[in-house]
Structure 1
Amino acid sequence: MHRGSDYKRRMLAIRLFGLPTDVNSSFERGAAAGPAAIRAALRSERGNMASELGPEIGTDIAFTDDGDLPLTEDTARDDATIRRHVAMLCEDGDVPLALGGDHAVTFPLVEAAATCSGPVNILHFDAHPDLYDDFAGNPRSHASPFARICEAGHARRLVQVGIRTLNAHCREQASRFGVEIIPMADFTADRVPVLDGPLYISIDLDGLDPSAAPGVAHPEPGGLTVREMLAVLRKQTAPIVGADIVELHPGRDIGGVTAILGAKLVRELAALIDRNGPYSVDP
């Protein structure tokens, strides 16, 4: 459903919700516990709700936590549940901010966002390109969401930041789909383009270096620093129609630091969504 250009939001609101599933994880499960861990860190008295951009979520920014969606071990059913929830938020004029869960959930999230606003530009942070045609025989693997997104035509442009595990198959897939990969070698935030709207942001926490985010199932040395990720986010000025933070594995975390980082990213994404404003589309 596309909205006409005369549609305007009265107030931009961010809606947080959890997707506690890791049924499509490879190697080991554990990411289903991610949403609860991020929420606990977000609500902890160790910190507060202020963002580095200035506004506080829940005070200066309209922010609601919808809780976790009732997901199951049935991927098709879960995909439908996710799509319905995002469609409802779109109807309300709100912006979804999802907590994974494994990265497989990004496919239905982007699919629903694109149904609402048209094909999106995607800024994707990750150690891995997640472009496998299928992984271990599973086309809905957490290693495959961006292949599904691209082949369905949901992405106008896909820019991947933090990639440092690009094998021959994924290199071929990136070429096939026209994916823009910003190499980690000699990385600077200036190398990342400023994308047009509608913009969707997907953050796999293993895109960060394991020294900053140890609580992931697939740590890969040589990743982004927190400051580099925040610099890339801050330079984005387009209206954001959805975002996710995925792949926190609390069982592998150390002192809760990755959960704390996830909570910080919730605040920073919410502030960025609010700063960049609503998106309107032509009929």
Structure 2
Amino acid sequence: MSPTAGSGRPTLLGVPYDASSSFLRGTALAPSHIRSALRAASSNRSTEDGRALDTLGWDDAGDLELPPGTEARSCIEAGVARLLATGGRPLVLGGDHSVTYPVVRAVARAAAPFTILHFDAHADLYDALDGDRYSHACPFARIMEEGLAARLVQVGVRTLTAHQREQAHRFGVEMLDMQAFAAGVRPALPGPVYVSLDLDVLDPAFAPGVSHWEPGGLSTRELLTMVQAIEGPIVGADLVEYNPLRDPTGLTAMVAAKLLKEMLAAMTRE
């Protein structure tokens, strides 16, 4: 393990990219909406463990400026690498889930080996979707092919095709689907962890502002409890797939901001 694993100042980095979305666009708009919710006058800037958010020791590096096409991947990887090189620890605001692949490529050079804890309604293990190997439905296939993570632990999956089941077996994925979660199973996560949090892991009753509604998911409380329970150092994280175009009331933005606060709390816990 790199001596810097789990160290570095947590730093927000917006990645406004949704060109690899398979259904709807709109997630590229998410970073600014999440930041606005974080500053909302209707809530206070403290975490559930009683710490003031402004005292936790974190930064905001703004948004990456990205080209409109798939060449953005190399720009994302380079942007995260720069952040790491200057002592930051990335907490990425997507964007669609395809951004996780270039982010993890950069983090793996600085903090391998680590476990990926992936919260999602979908496994995102397709070899390709609609001919695109870099779709937001494919990032974890690319990550595991390249050996970028020691383990992949997925929580909340409830849409598993036969192909993705084969892929999960191929890559040795540890999958805690919603049936297992409902039965009380929880993952063991010793050692450094990278957290990838797709908001559609939540039941759409709690977070309707996502592109893919998939009923039967986690509650906001259940997800917060799991984030708060992470014991190993967090080497990086992403919060993806919030779509402001499907969130007219701003409810999901507030959910995202709440999760962001608790992720910052977990990343700065001694």
The normalised TM-score by structure 2 is 0.95
Q: Structure 1 pair 128/8, CA: closer, same or farther in 2 (3 Å)? A: closer
Match of 1:166 among 160, 171, 183: 160
Question: What is the distance in 2 between the residues matched to 1:254 and 1:189?
Answer: 34
Q: Does 1:32 align with 2:18?
A: no
SS at match of 1:51: coil
Question: What is the distance in 1 between the residues matched to 2:163 and 2:21?
Answer: 19
Q: Does the 8 Å CA contact 2:5/2:110 hold for their aligned counterparts?
A: no
Partner of 2:43 in structure 1?
47
Q: Does the 8 Å CA contact 1:58/1:64 hold for their aligned counterparts?
A: no
Partner of 1:281 in structure 2?
none
Question: What is the distance in 2 between the residues matched to 1:189 and 1:57?
Answer: 34
Partner of 1:237 in structure 2?
231
Deviations 1:117-173 (A, max 9, x none): 113201001000000001000000000000000001001111111100001000000
| Aligned AA (1:49) | R
Q: Does the 8 Å CA contact 1:189/1:231 hold for their aligned counterparts?
A: no
Q: Does the 8 Å CA contact 1:212/1:225 hold for their aligned counterparts?
A: yes
| Aligned AA (1:44) | A
Partner of 1:223 in structure 2?
217
Question: What is the distance in 1 between the residues matched to 2:182 and 2:41?
Answer: 34
Question: What is the distance in 1 between the residues matched to 2:188 and 2:180?
Answer: 19
Deviation for aligned residue 1:26: 0.6
SS at match of 1:155: coil
Partner of 2:148 in structure 1?
154
Q: Does the 8 Å CA contact 1:12/1:62 hold for their aligned counterparts?
A: no
SS at match of 2:104: helix
Question: What is the distance in 2 between the residues matched to 1:53 and 1:107?
Answer: 31
Report the more deviating stretch, 43-52 or 105-114.
43-52
The normalised TM-score by structure 1 is 0.90
Question: What is the distance in 2 between the residues matched to 1:200 and 1:151?
Answer: 17
Deviation for aligned residue 1:83: 1.8
What are the within-5 Å matches in structure 2 for residues 19-168 of structure 1?
A: 19-59=15-55, 61-76=56-71, 78-168=72-162
Question: What is the distance in 1 between the residues matched to 2:180 and 2:117?
Answer: 19
Deviation for aligned residue 1:54: 2.2
Question: What is the distance in 2 between the residues matched to 1:48 and 1:112?
Answer: 33
Question: What is the distance in 1 between the residues matched to 2:5 and 2:170?
Answer: 37
Match of 2:187 among 174, 178, 193: 193
Question: What is the distance in 2 between the residues matched to 1:102 and 1:197?
Answer: 27
Partner of 2:266 in structure 1?
272
Q: Does the 8 Å CA contact 1:119/1:153 hold for their aligned counterparts?
A: no
Q: What's the RMSD between the two structures over aligned residues? A: 1.8
Aligned length: 270
Moved over 3 A (4+): none
% same residue: 50
Deviation for aligned residue 1:196: 2.5
| Aligned AA (1:250) | P
Question: What is the distance in 2 between the residues matched to 1:190 and 1:238?
Answer: 21
SS at match of 1:266: helix
Q: Does the 8 Å CA contact 2:5/2:111 hold for their aligned counterparts?
A: no
Partner of 1:280 in structure 2?
none
Question: What is the distance in 2 between the residues matched to 1:54 and 1:194?
Answer: 26
| Aligned AA (2:73) | D
Deviations 1:51-101 (A, max 9, x none): 112222222x1121111100122323x222222222223223321101010
Gaps of 5+ in 2: none
| Aligned AA (2:59) | T
Deviation for aligned residue 1:35: 0.8
Q: Structure 1 pair 134/206, CA: closer, same or farther in 2 (3 Å)? A: same
Gaps of 5+ in 1: 278-283
Question: What is the distance in 1 between the residues matched to 2:180 and 2:172?
Answer: 22
| Aligned AA (1:141) | S
Deviations 1:97-118 (A, max 9, x none): 0101000000011111111111
